[in-house]
């Protein structure tokens, strides 16, 4: 007999079924015993009658989170959770759990959840909780929507290495690793390789892969390794073209999440509000908020700005544009009429920055000058500079932190909750 998922049991009312899952709860009422069985699709009540002696007697040896295979009759039962149950005829213990769980999978009502460090130590048990069950289906649906947009829009997926011979981005906050007889660095972003694709004539690319940041940060939004979603496109007019692409991509992703997971989320509409950093600082000052970050937004400013935009434009998203050169990498293009500002942007979603993007500088002489101005060692950038020696189209793109999007979409307290196995300053296990 084929296995039936719990979510599909309603279609099998009156029929014999085989179901498999973890024991969620055990209840013994003397002449009748009840189990709750949980699989990836839901929870169902199992009723075990005394007449089924072998199964009935075996219940006393069961422990929570053991894995069972149950054969029985699917029945309507209005008082059971979901309005149906399975009357067990046969039971097989596929894997017995030790009786004392290191962390509870079923938290007591009104009780405090186990402290996060301990939950992350036992991450696979923590993820069994029904409250965590939608995190990765949402990830999957969001990425599926992104991919549908990219593929329909003529993007090509490419795969970049994580090992580099020189530090990417600004040259700071990188992990150095031993690479045979020399040093290598874990990539802070696939930025240089996206631009190489532009120079190769692959006009639109997207990438999904690990990103490493050696930042000693202990915030709810930072990890030392995370999954990045990146894209880059040639022959753009300016950074507003890049923002338009990201708007379409996010709309496609959010629509897919709503359709595939059934979660009632607000799908954004185009165009998203856009505001320069200077204008944002003015609005924040009017609220009495001043930051020590003259060239960037602090987390508090991002939260307050989102509240202002939500009230003003009823949008959870806002693009902040035109960051000063002090806050941006050397390869961001600068405004011709104001070379102190870059053609760049951040996208803030519900108070958290989720994207950084820009039009890139593709002219070799200007790129070199901007790198020198930033104090970069040109010799170590020789391979990168070679991308622009033999013609390279104007281009731009963005790097996206999907875990931050998931964190805010599901109102999770930290990006670690949105990550399968988070890595931070102190954590390398499990």
d(CA 355, CA 404): 9
Residues β-bridged to residue 212: 225
CA angle 294, 295, 301 (to 5 degrees): 70
Strand duo 317-321 + 344-349: pairing: antiparallel
261 annotated as belonging to a binding site for a ligand? no
How many angstroms separate the Cα of 214 from the Cα of each of 174, 222, 371?
Answer: 5, 10, 22
214 annotated as belonging to a binding site for a ligand? yes
166 annotated as belonging to a binding site for a ligand? no
Residues found in the chain: 430
Residues β-bridged to residue 275: 320
222 annotated as belonging to a binding site for a ligand? yes
213 annotated as belonging to a binding site for a ligand? yes
430 annotated as belonging to a binding site for a ligand? no
Is omega for the bond preceding 271 within 30 degrees of 0, making it cis? yes
353 annotated as belonging to a binding site for a ligand? yes
d(CA 235, CA 239): 11
How many angstroms separate the Cα of 290 from the Cα of each of 188, 282, 325, 348, 392?
Answer: 30, 9, 20, 18, 41
d(CA 206, CA 152): 13
The DSSP secondary structure of 111-162, one letter per residue, reads SPPPPHHHHHHTHHHHTTSGGGTTHHHHHHHHHHHHHHHHHHTT-EE----S
404 annotated as belonging to a binding site for a ligand? yes
CA angle 418, 149, 348 (to 5 degrees): 45
332 annotated as belonging to a binding site for a ligand? no
358 annotated as belonging to a binding site for a ligand? no
123 annotated as belonging to a binding site for a ligand? no
379 annotated as belonging to a binding site for a ligand? no
223 annotated as belonging to a binding site for a ligand? yes
Count other C-beta atoms under 10 Å from residue 16's C-beta. 14
d(CA 296, CA 284): 12
Q: Which residues are annotated as a binding site for ATP?
A: 213-215, 221-223, 353, 401-404
Q: Which residues are annotated as a binding site?
A: 169, 213-215, 221-223, 353, 356, 360, 401-404
Q: Which residues are annotated as a binding site for L-aspartate?
A: 169, 213, 356, 360
């Amino acid at each position: 007999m084929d296995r039936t998922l719990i979510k599909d049991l309603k279609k099998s009312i009156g029929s014999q079924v085989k179901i498999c899952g973890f024991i969620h709860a055990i209840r013994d009422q003397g002449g009748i015993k009840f189990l709750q069985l949980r699989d990836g699709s839901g929870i169902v009540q199992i009723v075990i009658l005394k007449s089924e002696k072998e199964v009935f007697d075996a219940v006393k040896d069961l422990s929570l989170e053991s894995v069972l295979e149950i054969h029985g009759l699917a029945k309507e039962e209005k008082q059971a959770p979901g309005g149906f149950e399975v009357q067990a005829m046969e039971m097989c213990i596929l894997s017995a759990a030790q009786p004392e769980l290191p962390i509870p999978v079923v938290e007591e009502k009104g009780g405090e959840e186990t402290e996060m460090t301990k939950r992350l130590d036992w991450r696979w048990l923590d993820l069994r909780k029904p409250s965590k069950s939608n995190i990765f289906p949402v990830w999957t649906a969001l990425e599926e929507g992104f991919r549908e947009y990219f593929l329909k829009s003529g993007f090509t997926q490419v795969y970049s290495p994580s090992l580099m011979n020189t530090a990417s981005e600004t040259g700071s906050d990188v992990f150095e690793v031993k690479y045979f007889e020399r040093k290598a660095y874990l990539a802070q972003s696939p930025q240089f390789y996206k631009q190489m694709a532009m120079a190769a004539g692959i006009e639109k690319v997207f990438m999904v892969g690990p990103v490493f940041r050696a930042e000693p940060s202990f915030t709810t939004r930072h990890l030392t390794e995370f999954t990045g979603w990146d894209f880059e496109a040639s022959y753009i007019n300016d950074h507003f073209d890049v923002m338009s692409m990201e708007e379409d991509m996010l709309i496609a992703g959010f629509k897919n999440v709503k359709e595939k997971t059934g979660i009632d989320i607000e799908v954004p509409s185009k165009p998203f509000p856009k505001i320069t950093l200077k204008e944002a600082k003015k609005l924040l000052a009017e609220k009495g908020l001043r930051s020590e970050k003259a060239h960037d937004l602090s987390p508090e400013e991002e939260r307050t700005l989102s509240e202002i935009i939500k009230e003003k434009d009823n949008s959870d998203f806002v693009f902040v544009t035109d960051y000063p050169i002090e806050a941006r990498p050397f390869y961001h293009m600068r405004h011709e009429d104001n070379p102190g500002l870059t053609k760049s942007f951040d996208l803030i979603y519900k108070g958290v920055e989720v994207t950084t993007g820009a039009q890139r500088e593709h002219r070799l002489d200007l790129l070199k000058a901007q790198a020198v101005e930033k104090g970069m060692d040109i010799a170590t950038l020789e391979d990168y500079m070679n991308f622009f020696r033999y013609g390279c189209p104007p281009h731009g793109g963005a790097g996206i932190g999907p875990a931050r999007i998931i964190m805010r979409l599901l109102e999770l307290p930290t990006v670690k909750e949105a990550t399968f196995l988070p890595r931070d300053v102190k954590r390398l296990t499990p």
